[in-house]
Amino acid sequence: MDNVATAEHTDFEENTIAHTSDMGHSTATVSRDVRKTVGDIEAENPRMICRGVNVHYGDKHAIKDVSVDLGKNEVLAMIGPSGCGKSTFLRCLNRMNDTIDDCHVTGSISIDEQDIYDKSMDVVPLRAQVGMVFQKPNPFPKSIYDNIAYGPRIHGLVEDKEELDHLVEGSLRKAGLWAEVSDRLAQPGTGLSGGQQQRLCIARTIAVSPEVILMDEPCSALDPIATAKVEELIDELRENYTIAIVTHSMQQAARVSQRTAYFHLGDLIEVGSTEQIFNMPRHQLTEDYITGRFG
Amino acid sequence: MNDTTQKRNTMEIVKANLAKRYAREQRFRAYGIAAISLGMMFLLMLFISIIGNGYGAFMQTYVKLDIEFTADRIDPEGTRTEDALSAGNYGGLVKDSLKRMFPNVKKRTPKKQLYGLASSGAAYQLRKMVMDNPDLIGTTQSIWVTADDDVDMLVKGHIDRTLPEADRRMNDSQISWIERLEKEGRIEKRFNITFFTAGDSREPELAGIWGAAVGSIYTLLVTLALSFPIGVATAVYLEEFAPCNKWTDIIEVNINNLAAVPSIVFGLLGLAVFINFFGLPRSAPVVGGLVLTLMTLPTIIIASRAALKSVPPSIREAALGVGASKMQTITHHVLPLAMPGMLTGTIIGMAQALGETAPLLMIGMVAFIVDIPGGAFDPSTVLPVQIYLWADSPERAFVEKTSAAIMVLLGFLIMMNAIAVILRKRFERRW
């Protein structure tokens, strides 16, 4: 199945390229080599630097030579059609792909000038440093309090109960959930509504004070009101954290991000400021995607 | 126009078929109900037959005898030491009592038959009384003693009094004695405490299930102590840590095969390895437990792996995402969520082990053991083997003991399965 789909896409890709060159598009710097990323991959103030990242799932080449920076206090949105590898790439950033047996990552991803795929790198502190929020809200089947307290406890971030209470409260406040749950911290986190659960998951991530937060379609399971709250929260979090968010909603990317990266079939096609990507895409594929011609 | 006719046609076709479709559904339901009814019928037959046969075993016939505790019989030398008291001729007291009641019986054979009315256990009962209270010596007491199993059977109506004398186990004079005793109110059926407190015996009226129950408990404790940790550890390793390769495939196939190996093979293995090679004691619950561990392991491993598989990956991701190590993810999140499934599998495995007979025959747990085992290294038997032994015994009274033992075993099984259900309900968590 997969192979067929890939073959189709490849045809499509070639057609598109042929098509664009025939048209002689003048505004876009169309390159015959789709693997070359268009735009500025470098951030002004980089927090994480990825260079030449390739991911293979067994024989499948899922991410092809992707280079991009994650800037400090900046939200990087990753968009692209399904199966383009944006989630895969995101999961490389805190090595969540390690859990997949035949996943193989090459290239360099570094945080604080330390390559995270280096042998000396321990994934446990890395994941505390680079937190993650998942597509489906996944609170632990424990109390709200324990959900937040779990991370700090296992990392030994707090000395006593009082400090932990403070940390839990602080995290919930930052996630904008404190007012809603302060009187029922002992109740199970799974009893909250979907939007509250997702904010609980964000609070849980914040509780271990990461520097980078990765979000994998955090709003795809939420209704518009809950989505708005989470988006607002993301905007607030930007002040203190570096954020990378994968999203299917281009409106969302436009609303929350400062920079946007467009992925297509494992290639990073174009990176640039969100404004530029949505108003003046330089690559034909990007334009086709954001104008809704496919995807 | 054309469109509407076609539409009507479609509807008509659908409607025409509808009855057939519903009929099919009805038939399918009827099959299901028939299957369940058949199953319930067999179950009912089983219960009726077992309870009908076995309820009598919970009552036991007793005879009231006027026992004269003569010092001559008990302690002729008058030392009153414990040794002397325990060596006394208590059987003689029973005989004296019966002789006094039926002075006309003179011949040797009828005398023997007369003395046989009371169980041989009566002498032990008297001895215990005297040992507890030596002041009884010299007094005369009316005491209810256990009747012989033939008396019991007669009283319960399992021996037909109308049959010709040669065809029944008791002759006319024996029956007449019993009838006289009944008339005097000296025969009574009481709740059979012996059955629940004694070990096995050659005398049906003295045989009890407790020895086998204790043997079963020790055996199951050994089984549980070994198979649960080993099974869970295996399942966790295979499910969470093991790489996917040829070796793990081979292990998986073997585990599944092991679940289908006939249990007698495990018994032979236990005999060869645990008893002959390691020199563990024969007939001991520890060996039984080891053998049953081998048998139960596949069940537990397969159930535990299924339980681990059913823990949603999102929970693992959540734990890994906040920086939990793999071990922490498993012990803090995956195992607690998988525990109800694992416990259910374990209890089902234990229930299976409780009912297992064949492998235990091979390791000598089929021996005739009177004592209640005091530990896992004492010789003992188990409930299903006890049932087998009693079913094999010729005495009529063992028929009802067999059924009663089956009832006790079923009671244990129902209890264990109820615990499994409760545990599952109690620990089940939704996410």
For A163-208, the DSSP string reads HHHHHHHHHHHHTT-HHHHGGGTTSBGGGS-HHHHHHHHHHHHHHT
Which of the 8 DSSP states describes residue A97?
G
Closest residue by Cα to residue A247 from A285, A215, A274: A215
Condensed to tens digits (0 to 9), the pLDDT of residues B381-423 reads 999 999 999 999 888 889 999 999 999 999 999 998 898 888 8
Please report the pLDDT score of residue B44 as a whole number: 96
Please report the pLDDT score of residue B430 as a whole number: 55
* Sign of the dihedral through C-alpha B352, B379, B387, B263: positive
Asked if the C-beta of A97 comes within 8 angstroms of chain B's C-beta atoms, the answer is: no
Q: B397-427 and B335-354 helices cross at what angle (nearest 10)?
A: 180
Residue B235 confidence (pLDDT) above 90: yes
Query: Considering only CB atoms, which chain A residues are within 8 Å of B315?
Result: 138, 140-141
Backbone torsions φ then ψ of A63, nearest 5 degrees: -125, 125
How many CB pairs (< 8 A) connect A and B? 70
A278 in Cβ contact with A250 (< 8 Å)? yes
Query: Considering only CB atoms, which chain A residues are within 8 Å of B323?
Result: 124-128, 151, 154-155, 208
Please report the pLDDT score of residue A101 as a whole number: 79
Query: Considering only CB atoms, which chain B residues are within 8 Å of A139?
Result: 318, 431
Poorest-pLDDT segment among A39-43, A184-188, B112-116, B366-370? A39-43
Asked if the C-beta of A131 comes within 8 angstroms of chain B's C-beta atoms, the answer is: yes
Please report the pLDDT score of residue B422 as a whole number: 87
Residues B398, B404: Cα–Cα separation, whole Å: 9
**Do A154 and B332 make contact, defined as CB atoms within 8 angstroms?**
yes
Query: Considering only CB atoms, which chain B residues are within 8 Å of A134?
Result: 314, 317-318, 321
| Rounded alpha-carbon distances, angstroms, from residue B161 to A274, B60, B165, B173, B196 | 105, 19, 8, 12, 30
**Do B322 and A99 make contact, defined as CB atoms within 8 angstroms?**
no
Q: For each of chain A's 295 residues, which pLDDT tens digit applies?
A: 344 444 344 444 444 443 443 343 433 444 434 467 888 888 888 889 999 999 998 888 888 889 999 988 899 999 998 888 888 999 999 898 888 878 889 889 998 888 888 888 888 889 989 999 998 899 998 899 999 999 999 998 888 899 999 999 999 988 888 988 989 999 998 889 888 999 999 999 989 989 999 999 998 888 888 888 889 989 988 998 999 999 988 889 999 999 999 998 888 889 999 999 999 888 888 888 888 876 5
Closest residue by Cα to residue A280 from A61, A9, A27, A49: A27
So what's the architecture of B210-427 in CATH?
A: Orthogonal Bundle (1.10)
Q: Give the pLDDT mean for B216-225.
A: 95
Residues B362, B382: Cα–Cα separation, whole Å: 13
Residue type, position B173, single letter: S
Condensed to tens digits (0 to 9), the pLDDT of residues B148-185 reads 988 899 888 888 888 888 888 888 888 889 989 989 88
Please report the pLDDT score of residue B134 as a whole number: 85
Which of the 8 DSSP states describes residue B316?
H
Please report the pLDDT score of residue A28 as a whole number: 40
Residue carrying structure tokens 């549980």: B224
Backbone torsions φ then ψ of A108, nearest 5 degrees: -125, 135
**Do B323 and A134 make contact, defined as CB atoms within 8 angstroms?**
no
Condensed to tens digits (0 to 9), the pLDDT of residues B260-282 reads 899 999 999 999 999 999 999 98
Report the complex ipTM: 0.80
Asked if the C-beta of A122 comes within 8 angstroms of chain B's C-beta atoms, the answer is: no
- Cα B20 to chain centroid distance, Å, stands at 51
Condensed to tens digits (0 to 9), the pLDDT of residues B333-344 reads 999 899 888 998
Encoding tokens for residue B148?
Answer: 């012989």
Please report the pLDDT score of residue B169 as a whole number: 83
For B387-429, the DSSP string reads HHHHHT---THHHHHHHHHHHHHHHHHHHHHHHHHHHHHHH--
Structural domains of chain A sorted by starting position, each given as residue range(s) with its CATH number in brackets? 1-119+252-295 (3.40.50.300)
Q: In Å, how far is A291's CA from the nearest CA of chain B?
A: 33
Residue type, position B403, single letter: S
Residues B244, B241: Cα–Cα separation, whole Å: 9
Nearest beta carbon to residue B337 from set A96, A131, A141:
A141
Q: In Å, how far is B346's CA from the nearest CA of chain A?
A: 24
* Sign of the dihedral through C-alpha B172, B399, B57, B52: negative
Residues near A144 by Cβ (< 8 Å), separated by ≥ 6? A172, A181, A184, A185, A186, A187, A188, A189, A192, A200
- What kind and span of H or E run contains A271? strand A267-273
Residue B53 confidence (pLDDT) above 50: yes
Q: Specify the domain boundaries for CATH 1.10.3720.10 within chain B.
A: 210-427
Asked if the C-beta of A166 comes within 8 angstroms of chain B's C-beta atoms, the answer is: no
Residues A281, A78: Cα–Cα separation, whole Å: 15
Asked if the C-beta of B245 comes within 8 angstroms of chain A's C-beta atoms, the answer is: no
Query: Considering only CB atoms, which chain A residues are within 8 Å of B325?
Result: 124
Query: Considering only CB atoms, which chain A residues are within 8 Å of B248?
Result: none
Residue B146 confidence (pLDDT) above 60: yes
Residue of A nearest to B313 (CA): A138
**Do B324 and A154 make contact, defined as CB atoms within 8 angstroms?**
yes
Encoding tokens for residue B203?
Answer: 């005398």
**Do A154 and B316 make contact, defined as CB atoms within 8 angstroms?**
no
Residue of B nearest to A124 (CA): B323
Residue type, position B63, single letter: V
Percent of chain B with pLDDT over 90: 46
**Do A201 and B324 make contact, defined as CB atoms within 8 angstroms?**
no
Asked if the C-beta of B73 comes within 8 angstroms of chain A's C-beta atoms, the answer is: no
Angle value at C-alpha A80, between A76 and A266, nearest 5 degrees: 95
Asked if the C-beta of B315 comes within 8 angstroms of chain A's C-beta atoms, the answer is: yes
Asked if the C-beta of B238 comes within 8 angstroms of chain A's C-beta atoms, the answer is: no
Nearest beta carbon to residue B320 from set A99, A141, A208:
A99
Nearest beta carbon to residue B333 from set A94, A136, A140:
A140
Residue of B nearest to A93 (CA): B321
Asked if the C-beta of A178 comes within 8 angstroms of chain B's C-beta atoms, the answer is: no
Which of the 8 DSSP states describes residue B239?
I
- Spatial strand order of the sheet with A114-115 comes to A60-71, A46-57, A103-111, A114-115
**Do B322 and A150 make contact, defined as CB atoms within 8 angstroms?**
yes
Residue of B nearest to A98 (CA): B320
Q: In Å, how far is A64's CA from the nearest CA of chain B?
A: 25
Residue of A nearest to B430 (CA): A141
Residue of A nearest to B243 (CA): A101
Residue carrying structure tokens 């050994």: B222
A140 in Cβ contact with B319 (< 8 Å)? yes
